[in-house]
């Protein structure tokens, strides 16, 4: 018999109050109608509360948590990214064609075509992009990830990150820094020039250094950066510093001339976001290992192309579930307002998908003001993310929560059930091509993506 019941109260708070008045142990659950009260979603949720789904999720989360992302080298996109041709342009987010692209993505495509020498001017590039001769493919479908516009063309150098547990790899370009940069849709001559310098001088030197190092354990670097006040999406200052520390001896011991090495250091240390292009592929190769597990409700991709937000789920394989991209709540650089902002863009939400970024906001008090709110708000954001996730990552811990593991592995079911949406820390691009970054802030994925995915998961369950 129950000696002293310990009670969860789901529904009216009146009963919790009455129990508390009796001195009983009671925890009130702030219940919300699952699926926003939509009976079809509620039925789908009920259909997915099954042991085989739990089993599939256990397998998926195990693969995600066991991933060991290591920076093993660099290469040229066209030579190492599968299926890449001279006329392939990889881009951030779900699939999109030229006529649907937003300003910053168009700008980056123009810049990419000029960089490749496929076009000489903006007009040329625009005509070529619209001609049908260029194949636009999501980075995510080629084991790659790209911040903001995320454009990768054939001759760009990319980092190679290998998941030592599963053997799969992920790729990302070198982060170009702030200001006028390709990923924010800028394509002026100085943008192209910087990309050329990266390919011709920086890449050979850094590639050699990485190879000399025998591989840099990105999981360890991320774990340390998290303890140093980064969340590894919108704040990467600690991660970038740690990277410099790790790479310095190898860069100095390499064959690159002194001027190149000096400029390489200046380039990395002058760009607080350098590490983002390492934390992203680290999460990508970890999540790819957990992708394509039948019945699993784990979200393995969240990405935006500036027009649409799209997610992919382990159990539904390579299907995208998309909805219009949201506008971002945030702060703007002087001279810019919300009217200048492009809707949400970039693959960088891969960090949140992998359990860092906005999900670890409680770890990064320094960026909280930038994205609006107090340190307590940041902790609350992180605490609420545990409602959505399948696990806590023992490798990534949160000092502010007494070293509790980061909330990891977003479950489509929990998102629809609770109505809580993942929180994403993100930069804001100007809506016109060629201008660049105008601010940073917070955004949520559209809930429709998760609702569609949930219904599709139920469909897949049918024999």
Using CA atoms, how far apart are residues 57 and 315, in angstroms rounded to an integer?
9
Using CA atoms, how far apart are residues 111 and 107, in angstroms rounded to an integer?
6
Point out which residues pair with 397 in neighbouring strands: 405
**DSSP secondary structure letter of residue 30:** -
Ordered strands of the 299-305 beta sheet: 321-324, 308-313, 299-305, 345-346
Going by C-alpha positions, the residue among 365, 221, 293 that lies closest to residue 60 is: 293
> Contacting other proteins (CB under 8 A), which of 246, 255, 417, 426?
417
Provide the 10 A C-beta neighbour count for residue 67: 24
Using CA atoms, how far apart are residues 15 and 264, in angstroms rounded to an integer?
64
By CB under 8 A, what part of segment 331-390 binds other proteins? Answer: 376, 379-380, 383-384, 386-387
Residue 393: CB minimum distance to other proteins, A = 15
CB neighbour burial string for 278-303, b if at least 16 within 10 angstroms, e if fewer: bbbbbbbbbbbbbbbbebbbbbbbbb
Provide the 10 A C-beta neighbour count for residue 217: 16
Quick check: 33 binds other proteins (CB under 8 A)?
yes
Helix (H, G, I), strand (E, B) or coil at 452: helix
Among 15-23, 223-231, 287-295, 453-461, which window interacts with other proteins (CB under 8 A)?
15-23
By CB under 8 A, what part of segment 186-215 binds other proteins? Answer: none
Quick check: 133 binds other proteins (CB under 8 A)?
no
Quick check: 448 binds other proteins (CB under 8 A)?
no
- Give the contact letters, 44-63, x = binds to other proteins (CB under 8 A), - = no: -xx--x--------------
Quick check: 420 binds other proteins (CB under 8 A)?
yes
Residue 31: CB minimum distance to other proteins, A = 6
Quick check: 39 binds other proteins (CB under 8 A)?
yes
Which of 76, 420 has the CB closer to other proteins?
A: 420
3-state secondary structure 183-252: HHCCCCHHHHHHHHHHHHHHHHHHHHHHHHHCCEEHHHHHHHHHHCCCCCCCCCHHHHHHHHHHHHHHHH
Quick check: 327 binds other proteins (CB under 8 A)?
no
> Contacting other proteins (CB under 8 A), which of 87, 126, 168, 418?
418
Residue 446: CB minimum distance to other proteins, A = 13
Quick check: 408 binds other proteins (CB under 8 A)?
no
> Contacting other proteins (CB under 8 A), which of 419, 432, 458, 461?
419
Which of 217, 387 has the CB closer to other proteins?
A: 387
Query: What residue ranges bind other proteins (CB under 8 A)?
Result: 1-19, 21-22, 24-25, 27-34, 36-39, 42, 45-46, 49, 376, 379-380, 383-384, 386-387, 414, 417-420
């Amino acid at each position: 018999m129950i000696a002293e019941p310990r009670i969860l109260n789901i529904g009216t708070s009146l009963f919790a109050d009455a129990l508390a008045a009796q001195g009983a142990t009671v925890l009130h659950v702030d219940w919300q109608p699952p699926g926003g009260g939509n009976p079809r979603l509620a039925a789908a949720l009920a259909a997915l509360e099954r042991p085989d789904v739990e089993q599939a999720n256990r397998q998926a989360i195990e693969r995600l948590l066991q991933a060991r992302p290591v920076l093993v080298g660099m290469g040229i996109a066209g030579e190492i990214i599968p299926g890449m041709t001279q006329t392939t342009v990889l881009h951030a987010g779900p699939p999109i064609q030229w006529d649907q692209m937003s300003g910053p993505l168009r700008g980056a495509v123009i810049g990419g075509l000029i960089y490749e020498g496929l076009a000489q001017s903006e007009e040329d590039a625009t005509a070529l992009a619209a001609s049908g001769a260029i194949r636009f493919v999501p980075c995510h479908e080629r084991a790659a990830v790209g911040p903001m516009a995320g454009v990768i063309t054939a001759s760009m150098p990319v980092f190679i990150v290998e998941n030592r547990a599963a053997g799969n790899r992920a790729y990302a370009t070198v982060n170009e820094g702030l200001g006028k940069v390709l990923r924010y849709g800028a394509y002026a001559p100085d943008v192209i020039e910087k990309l050329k310098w990266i390919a011709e001088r920086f890449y050979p030197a850094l590639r050699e250094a990485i190879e000399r190092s025998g591989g840099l354990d990105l999981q360890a670097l991320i774990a340390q950066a998290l303890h140093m006040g980064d969340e590894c999406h919108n704040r990467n200052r600690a991660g970038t510093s740690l990277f410099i520390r790790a790479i310095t001896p190898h860069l100095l011991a390499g064959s690159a001339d002194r001027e190149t090495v000096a400029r390489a250091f200046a380039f990395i240390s002058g760009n607080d976001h350098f590490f983002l292009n390492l934390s992203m592929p680290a999460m990508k190769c970890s999540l790819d290992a957990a992708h394509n597990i039948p019945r699993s409700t784990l979200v393995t991709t969240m990405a935006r192309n500036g027009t649409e937000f799209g997610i992919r789920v382990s159990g539904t394989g390579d299907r995208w579930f998309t909805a219009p991209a949201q506008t971002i709540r945030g702060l703007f650089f002087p001279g810019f307002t919300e009217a200048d902002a492009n809707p949400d863009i970039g693959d960088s939400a891969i960090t949140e998908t992998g359990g860092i970024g906005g999900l670890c906001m409680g770890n990064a008090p320094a960026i909280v003001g930038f994205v609006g709110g107090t340190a307590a708000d940041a902790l609350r954001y992180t605490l609420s993310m545990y409602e959505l996730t399948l696990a806590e990552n023992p490798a990534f811990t949160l000092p502010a929560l007494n070293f509790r593991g980061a909330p990891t592995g977003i479950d489509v079911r929990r998102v629809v059930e609770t109505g809580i949406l993942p929180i994403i820390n993100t930069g804001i691009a100007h809506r016109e091509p060629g201008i660049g970054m105008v601010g940073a802030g917070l955004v949520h994925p559209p809930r429709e993506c998760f609702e569609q995915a949930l219904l599709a998961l139920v469909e897949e369950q049918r024999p």
